[in-house]
């Protein structure tokens, strides 16, 4: 089983992630990397409800690539590993640093993510499982502040 970072795909010129970009750049890179790790293993993707993630084009791509989708409840940032783990962890590591260019900032982000040890990723996903259980037990109520 693989726990951890798969791929970092920077946004050039502060663009947003559209369904086109998501299905032609982001997802193919991640799927390719996962299949390199273990070509026989099924891929289950957990993503939030951003418009690029819920677009018909994205659903079609995931179906064609035999990627299973784990549903993400609406308005549930407390269930997104990026929101409760990755972004805060990297933000703390990069706090106070200044970058000369967007590319330098992206490189610093990538390096900080890649430097996270496997045991940190394991804790993240153990926490994610516990959060999913809490979500089920509280019948979908927001629990981050509880």
Q: Which pLDDT band holds residue 23 (cuts at 50, 70, 90)?
A: very high
Considering the chain, what percentage of its residues have pLDDT values greater than 70? 86
- Above 80 in pLDDT, residue 118? yes
Q: What is the structure's pLDDT at 90?
A: 92
Q: Give 24's pLDDT tier (boundaries 50, 70, 90).
A: very high
Kindly state the percentage of the chain with pLDDT values over 90: 28
Contact 117, 1 (CB under 8 A): no
Judged against a pLDDT cut of 60, whether residue 145 lies above it is answered with: no
Helix 102-114 and helix 87-94: axis angle, to 10°?
A: 120
Q: Which two tokens stand for residue 66?
A: 């035999």
Q: CA-CA distance, 122 to 97, in Å (whole number)? A: 27
CA 67, CA 60: separation in Å to the nearest integer?
10
Q: Is 73 helix (H, G, I), strand (E, B) or coil?
A: coil
pLDDT tens readout for residues 90-99: 999 999 999 9
Angle between helices 27-37 and 56-64 (to 10 degrees): 20
């Amino acid at each position: 089983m693989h726990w951890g970072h798969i791929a970092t795909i920077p946004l050039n010129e502060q663009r947003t992630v559209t369904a086109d970009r998501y299905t032609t750049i982001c997802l193919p890179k991640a799927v390719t990397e996962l299949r390199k790790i273990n070509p026989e293993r099924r891929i289950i993707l957990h993503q939030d409800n951003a418009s690029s993630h819920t677009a018909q084009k994205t659903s079609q791509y995931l179906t064609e690539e035999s990627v299973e989708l784990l549903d993400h409840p609406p308005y549930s940032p407390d269930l997104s590993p990026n929101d409760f783990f990755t972004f805060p962890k990297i933000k703390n590591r990069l706090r106070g640093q200044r970058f000369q260019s967007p590319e330098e900032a992206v490189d610093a982000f990538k390096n900080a993510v890649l430097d996270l040890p496997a045991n940190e990723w394991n804790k993240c996903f153990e926490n994610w499982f516990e959060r999913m259980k809490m979500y089920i037990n509280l019948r979908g109520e927001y629990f981050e502040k509880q």
